[in-house]
Amino acid sequence: MPPRLFLDPERADADGLVGIGGNLSPPFLLEAYRRGIFPWFDENSPILWWSPDPRAIFEMDGLHVSRRLARTVRSGKFTVTVDCAFAEVIRGCAHRPNNGVWITPEMIEAYTRLHELGHAHSVEVWHNGELAGGIYGVTIGGLFAGESMFTRVRDASKVALVHLMERLRQRGFQLFDVQFLNEHTARLGAIEIPRREYLRRLRKAIAYNVSFTS
């Protein structure tokens, strides 16, 4: 059973830290996401669990797609697949020279296990037969919790995001969580909402019976 630290994410400290310790087993991770909590730590710290206030999300109709990006999506320059190379995508996201390491080998192993169990998914973007970028995240009911994305060819991660958003809309997903707002996601249309509102919307979203893969 998950520890009692998960009982009330609104008791997080001012930085959003909920608790320290635990493990990254599938039951532990899934219970965390159901409660609006996620792990974020580096190789030099214990497992840290977070529920920030405010929380960053994409509204389902809120992705900003520029004309140039729309042309790129339509051009056929990239090929897009789903759940065909999850391990390669998460390793691509983990490889961030000079930007620190938070997708540790322990995290890679844990989320690969979630993928094998059908709870974590990836969108892959290919260029000339090579993996050019992608995104991965966790699904529970109508929640997609975006974890990370990467690019090796200009616009590849943005193309992945466009395809991911369309997939979520088509399948009836209700909430697209991106945890913290940054300059990149803000330019793409992500917004911040109070944690209390996020938790309210989360409870509704995870009750939906939708599927990422069907």
Give pLDDT tens digits for 136-163: 999 999 999 999 999 999 999 999 999 9
Q: Using alpha carbons only, what angle is made at residue 164 by residues 9 and 117, rounded to the nearest 5 degrees?
A: 65
Asked if residue 168 belongs to a domain, the reply is yes
113 and 127 housed in the same domain: yes
Whether residue 162 lies inside any domain: the answer is yes
Query: 60 and 48 share a domain?
Result: no
Looking up residue 47, the CATH number of its domain turns out to be: 3.30.70.3550
Q: Are residues 49 and 154 in the same domain?
A: no
Q: Which band of pLDDT confidence, cut at 50, 70 and 90, is reported for residue 1?
A: very low
CA dist 120 to 11, 19, 43, 110, 203, Å? 27, 23, 22, 10, 19
Number of domain units in the chain: 2
What is the average pLDDT across 64-87? 97
Q: Which pTM does this prediction carry?
A: 0.94
Residue 196: its pLDDT value, please? 97
Tell me the C-alpha distance between 148 and 166, whole Å: 18
**pLDDT tens profile 103-128:** 999 999 999 999 999 999 999 999 99
| Tens of pLDDT, residues 15-30 | 999 999 989 999 999 9
Residues 166 and 118 in one domain: yes
Give the chain's mean pLDDT.
94
Residue 69 lies in a domain: yes
127 and 171 together in one domain: yes
Please report where in the chains the tokens 């809120």 appear, as a residue.
62
Q: Which domain holds residue 151?
A: 56-205
Instruction: Please enumerate in sequence order all residues whose Cβ is within 8 A of that of 166, keeping only pairs 6 or more positions apart, or say none.
Output: none
Q: Residue 210: inside a domain, yes or no?
A: no
In a domain, residue 14? The reply is: yes
CATH of the domain at 148: 3.40.630.70
Asked if 48 and 113 sit in the same domain, the reply is no
pLDDT digits (tens, 9 = 90+) for 170-208: 999 999 999 999 999 999 999 999 999 999 999 999 999
pLDDT at residue 92 is higher than 60 = yes
Comparing 37-41, 94-98, 131-135, 204-208, which segment has the lowest mean pLDDT?
94-98
Write the Ramachandran bin of 7: left for phi over 0, alpha for psi from -120 to 50, otherwise beta. Answer: alpha
* CA 133 – CA 80 distance, rounded (Å): 10
Q: Report yes or no on 1 lying in a domain.
A: no
> Rg of the chain over CA atoms, in angstroms?
17
